[in-house]
Amino acid sequence: MAKKHKKKHDNHNGDHNGDLALAPSPSKQSSKLSWKDYSAELAKLHADLVTLQEWVVHKGLKVCIVFEGRDTAGKGGTIKAITERVSPRVFRVVALPTPTEREKSQMYIQRYIPHFPAAGEVVIFDRSWYNRAGVERVMGFCTEEQAKRFLEMVPAVERAMVESGIILLKYWLEVSPDEQTRRLEARIHDGRKTWKLSPMDLKSYSRWFDYSRARDDMFAASDTPWAPWYVAHSNDKRRARLNIISHLLEHVPHEKLPRDPVKLPKRQDPNSYCEPDYPYKVIRERPWPAG
């Protein structure tokens, strides 16, 4: 896919020219990253995300991040990796449910606009308005005319977003057919993941090439100089998460704010306070394995 779109990206201005062209195919990736190495690198990136958070609030930046990709591509895990050490008041995750009948009667983009970031916010869309170009089109929830009209209009909408001061980053997570199969089968047999497996996942699984065609049309229409798509191969989820967070940190300009030294204050004197003899309902300590 990266090779297919290389020519178009070579014609764009800005520092994103090489992102797609240089993205390695899954077959060229190194061996999977160990949990120990992944955790160590993620801890460093989490500290950098806190620095970014403070800068976003300080400067009143407006950041909007879109995550798209096939089922099991790793969108949810990547979003969790980004947000687990930052404030939910600054980093807001938006994952809209199925539209209501009222929302279906509205202008398509209308239900997404209220969630766009205000000053000092980073809004992450776990699937976005691009539902119309992907799942809605493939599964027949919209007409071909509606999908094509969306693709015609979305570049102008995103240009307006960017011109209003929003930093817009769009990520497509690309997973291979074999890896998608492995992950879906894991959901079937793992009690922790069965909630992730819906009838829609099974239907969409059978339509791999319909999704490929929809993805190709989406890129052709909406991979613009002002709102380019960035692709992350996600067969190795850990590497994908680290790569995306690093890319995010590079593409949202920020600086480390100076901090005054922090020292814990002295606790107040008890002034004759005594713990009451109250019959607390204490949770039972269970004999969990040590270590």
Question: Does 78 reside within a domain?
Answer: yes
For residue 245, give the nearest of 122, 50, 66, 81 by alpha carbon: 81
Confidence label for 2 from pLDDT (cuts 50, 70 and 90): very low
Question: Does 188 reside within a domain?
Answer: yes
Number of domains in the chain: 1
Question: Does 186 reside within a domain?
Answer: yes
Q: What's the mean pLDDT in 153-157?
A: 98
Residue 205: strand, helix, or coil? helix
Q: What's the mean pLDDT in 14-26?
A: 42
Question: Does 19 reside within a domain?
Answer: yes
Question: Does 263 reside within a domain?
Answer: no
CATH number of the domain within which 176 lies = 3.40.50.300
Cβ-based neighbours of 54, under 8 Å, separated by 6 or more:
257
Angle, helix 208-222 to helix 144-163, in steps of 10 degrees: 40
Q: What's the mean pLDDT in 9-37?
A: 55
Chain segment 88-124, per-residue pLDDT in tens: 999 999 999 999 999 999 999 999 999 999 999 999 9
Q: What's the mean pLDDT in 65-82?
A: 96
Report the chain's mean pLDDT, rounded to a whole number: 90
Confidence label for 192 from pLDDT (cuts 50, 70 and 90): confident
Residue 7 has pLDDT above 70, yes or no: no
pLDDT at site 25: 53
Question: Does 288 reside within a domain?
Answer: no
- Residue 165's domain spans which residues? 6-251
User: Which tokens in the block code for residue 216?
Assistant: 């190709």
Question: Does 41 reside within a domain?
Answer: yes
Question: Does 241 reside within a domain?
Answer: yes
CA–chain centroid gap for 162, Å, is 19
Chain segment 247-260, per-residue pLDDT in tens: 999 999 999 999 99
